[in-house]
C-alpha cells in the first residue's frame, strides 16, 4: 500500500517549490550548505563535499568514525540528518534557515567535546 499519509504531507512542500523561482532555491541551498561546511570544518569534521559552490549541490557529506552516535545525538536534539557507515549527511533545503544550521553546529559541537 502506498504511503498516503506521507504523500499528503509532501503536497504543501511541493506547492512551495512550484511557487518559488528555482534560482532562489539554488542560491539559498548553496548558502546554507556553504555556511554548514565552514562551521563543520571549524569543529574538526572531515567534510568531503567540495567547498566551491560550482562543484556541489546542497547536500553535505562528511566522514566521522562515530557517525551513528553523532546521528543519534543530533536526532535526540531535534536535528534531522542521515548516516551510513562512517558517512554522515546533512541536506539543508529551502525549508531551512541559518538558525537550523546553527542548531546543527551546536549539536555537533556538544557531541565532539
Q: Which three cell numbers stand for residue 59?
A: 547536500
**How do residues 3-60 score in pLDDT, each as one tens digit?**
777 777 787 877 877 787 888 889 999 999 999 999 999 999 999 999 999 999 889 9
Which pairs count as long-range contacts for 25-31, CB under 8 Å and 24+ apart, including other chains? 25/93, 25/94, 28/94, 29/57, 29/58, 29/92, 29/93, 29/94, 30/56, 30/57, 30/58
Q: How confident is the model at residue 16, as a pLDDT?
A: 76
**How do residues 68-90 score in pLDDT, each as one tens digit?**
999 999 999 999 999 999 999 99
Q: Which of 73, 90, 69, 68 minimizes the C-alpha distance to 81? A: 90
Give the gyration radius of the chain's Cα atoms: 15
Q: What is the CATH number of domain 4-112?
A: 3.90.1150.10
Q: Is the pLDDT of residue 64 over 90?
A: yes
Q: How confident is the model at residue 1, as a pLDDT?
A: 60
Amino acid at each position: 500500500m502506498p504511503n498516503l499519509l506521507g504523500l499528503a504531507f509532501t503536497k504543501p512542500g511541493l506547492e512551495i517549490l512550484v511557487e518559488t523561482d528555482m534560482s532562489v532555491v539554488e542560491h539559498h541551498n548553496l548558502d546554507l550548505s556553504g555556511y554548514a561546511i565552514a562551521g563543520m570544518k571549524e569543529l574538526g569534521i572531515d567534510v568531503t563535499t567540495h567547498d566551491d559552490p560550482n562543484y556541489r549541490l546542497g547536500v553535505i557529506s562528511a566522514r566521522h568514525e562515530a557517525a551513528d552516535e553523532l546521528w543519534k545525538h543530533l536526532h535526540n536534539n531535534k536535528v534531522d540528518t542521515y548516516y551510513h557507515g562512517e558517512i554522515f549527511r546533512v541536506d539543508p533545503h529551502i525549508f531551512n534557515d541559518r538558525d537550523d544550521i546553527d542548531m546543527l553546529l551546536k549539536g555537533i559541537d556538544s557531541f565532539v567535546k
